Structures are given as C-alpha cells and as structure tokens.
Amino acid sequence: MTGKLDGRVALVSGAGRGIGREIALKLASEGARVVINDLDAEPANETAEAIRATGAEAAVCPGSVTEDGFAERFVQTGVDSFGGLDIIVNNAGYTWDSVVQKMTDAQWQAIIDVHLTAPFRILRAAQPVISARAREEAAAGQEVFRKVVNISSIAGTGGNAGQINYSAAKAGILGLTRTMAKEWGRYKVNVNAVAFGPIRTRLTEGSADGNSTITVEDREIKVGVNPDLLTQMERMIPLGRVGTPQEAAGAVYLFCSPESNFISGQYVICGGGFTI
C-alpha cells in the first residue's frame, strides 16, 4: 500500500508536541520522510520514534527556530538525511500575552521572532535547494510540485484582545504566504497557510486555577484559557466543540497533498466554523 506522499521529504517545526506532532505523524502515515524539530530534544525524539515504529522514516533537528543558523541546519538535515526537500510546515510557536500598555519590547519581539522571522529564515535557507531541484526537473521536462504550509491563526485574520504581538505575527504570516506564492510559483511550489481557531492543546488547556506555565528559553510563560471562557467559546463554535490536534493536522495535510497542486497563496480557517 502506498501513500500520497511516498518519498517526499518534509520539515516540520515544533513537532515534538501537540499539533506539530500530529502533523508529523499524519505526513509520515502518507509516506513522507519527516525531519522533526522541537525546542527540546526529548519530545522531538519521541515523535521520531513514534514515526519509526510505524515503519516510516524520521530524523531529528532539535533547537530553537529563532537561533542564528538554525534555519540552515534544519534544511541541511533534510538534505543530508533524505537527499532532498519537498514540504515545509512552519508550525513552531507559543503565546506570551498582554494588553498593549503592559507589553514589553522583549515580549513583542520574542513572539514576532518565533512566528514570523523564523519562518522567513527557514524559507530563505530552503531557496537554494528548491530552486536547484526545480531547474533540474524543468530541464528534464518534469513538473514536480513542492509544498509550504505556514501556520496562522484567527487572531491573525481578525485580531484578538490581549494578543497584539501574536495577532501581528500571524497576520504577517498571511502576507509572507501570499508573497512567497508569487516568488516561488516558478519553482512549482504551492505556498498556503492554515489559520487555526480553537484547538485543544497544552497552550489552551490551562489548569483550573489559571497558573499553568511553559518554559521557553528560561522564561516561565503563563498559558491556558480560563475553563469558563473555553466553555463559552465552545457555544459559539458552529460545530459545537473545540478542535483536536489530529483535526488541525488534517487541515495542514490538505495543502501537502497532490490535490492542492493548483492552489497557492491561500489560507483556510480550521476552526469548526468559528471566526473572530
């Protein structure tokens, strides 16, 4: 039995946990060979082992997507491990919320860096590999499509109070996506985005006391949505509940599949009908 992504090489950032992990597993289930990134090596290796347990192939490239030189290392891992590069999913990120008058420069810049600057750097690093392969294929009379899927949010499509940094970064991703679709169309690369609505992950499922945190580069950052607020939000979702990481991964897969070969520069909201 063959998958729709057999032989394709996929890079997935932030793939050690949550949505990113499910994206990596989904692509691998369709035959892709996946390079797993996560800030922490342990969850990245766990995802890779889960993929290998199914008989698929995976490599690991741990580290922060915001580090100097990371993008080049990420791309090179795909080339060295599997000989190419066909799919890039820019998924890594987190939230660090505050209203505008309380937001520090460091808070603003950290979120812009991880959600917008890092994807830009990864795509820039991938360009020489993609353009060289595209020229070879064109000379051979082949039309081979590659895929970029950038992760946005309904905070980026409609704004969200208390998330000016995150909303700005995710809105910027849509501009980046449209521009890259125009720049890379000549290479037969489809560049699209998925804007997530409410998805149940560790970033939304805070503790009842509101004291849930994650550690990002030695910073303790508060996460989670108040359970009462999450319940109210669910009532506003036409499908009646928040989404699962598996459903989020399914939306990303749509833009990685051959069926999306004539779709580029677009975004889809994966939010059960809910928008801001």
Three-class secondary structure assignment of 144-213: CCEEEEEEEEHHHHHCCCCEHHHHHHHHHHHHHHHHHHHHHHHHCEEEEEEEECCECCCCCCCCCCCCCE
**In the chain, helix, strand, coil percent, each to 5?**
45, 15, 35
Contact between 48 and 38 under an 8 Å Cβ cutoff? The reply is: no
Please count the CA atoms within 13 angstroms of the CA of 225 that sit on its side-chain side.
17
Q: Which helix (H) or strand (E) holds 121?
A: helix 118-139
* N-term to C-term CA, the chain: 42
The pair of structure tokens assigned to 86 is 């066909």
- Catalytic pick from 166, 187, 253, 267? 166
Instruction: Please tell me what DSSP assigns to residue 104.
Output: -
The number of helices, as runs of H, and strands, as runs of E, in the chain is 9, 9
Our answer to whether residue 166 is catalytic in this structure is yes
Contact between 242 and 200 under an 8 Å Cβ cutoff? The reply is: yes
Contact between 152 and 195 under an 8 Å Cβ cutoff? The reply is: yes
Which residues does the annotation mark as catalytic? 166
